[in-house]
Structure 1
């Protein structure tokens, strides 16, 4: 994902507030895990307001990481998750 891809040109629905409008890509696992989020396509589209809120209050949005890990482990395994991230959010 390139920097220019941060904002969408077309309007979409925010995955958090469900409003229709301009969205940005949020890497579910950022910081040291950002590249892994990109490799595994672990990104969601959120409006700019929700995107700021996620980064300003990360503990309130841990459910996004938990849900992502649960979905991954339904298709793969906990062991696979741990090999990739070496951390559990559950």
Structure 2
């Protein structure tokens, strides 16, 4: 299992939902999916979500693209674009044409 780093996502706290600011029981959401889930843990690209927001994100895709892009921007501010591409291999900040 990957070692989970403290989240580097701006404004994330284990005290409230990242999306709706609700307090209570929170779940960790990995901003990167699939083969990059482990990288999300190691890179600190996780946010805390309430169960309702987490389900909507996974079931309906609400806020998914925004969180992926924000994860990339946040990581690149610390490590640069080349490091992001070497680790993740996908650019989430490009707008689909």
> What TM-score comes out, normalization by structure 1 length?
0.81
Matched, 1:77 2:80: yes
The separation in 2 between residues aligned to 1:28 and 1:66, in whole angstroms, is 9
| Pairwise CA RMSD | 1.8
TM superposition shift of 1:59: 6.0
| Unaligned 5+ runs, structure 2 | 3-13
From 20, 25, 36, the equivalent of 2:23 is: 20
- Which has the larger helix fraction? 1
Please identify runs of 4+ aligned residues in structure 1 that moved more than 6 A.
Answer: none
Aligned 1:26-37 pairs, distance under 5 A: 26-37=29-40
Alignment match, 1:8: none
51-60 or 32-41: bigger deviation: 51-60
**TM-score normalised to structure 2 length:** 0.76
Determine which structure has greater relative contact order: mean sequence separation of CA pairs < 8 Å that are 6+ residues apart, divided by chain length. 2
Unaligned runs of 5+ in 1: 3-10
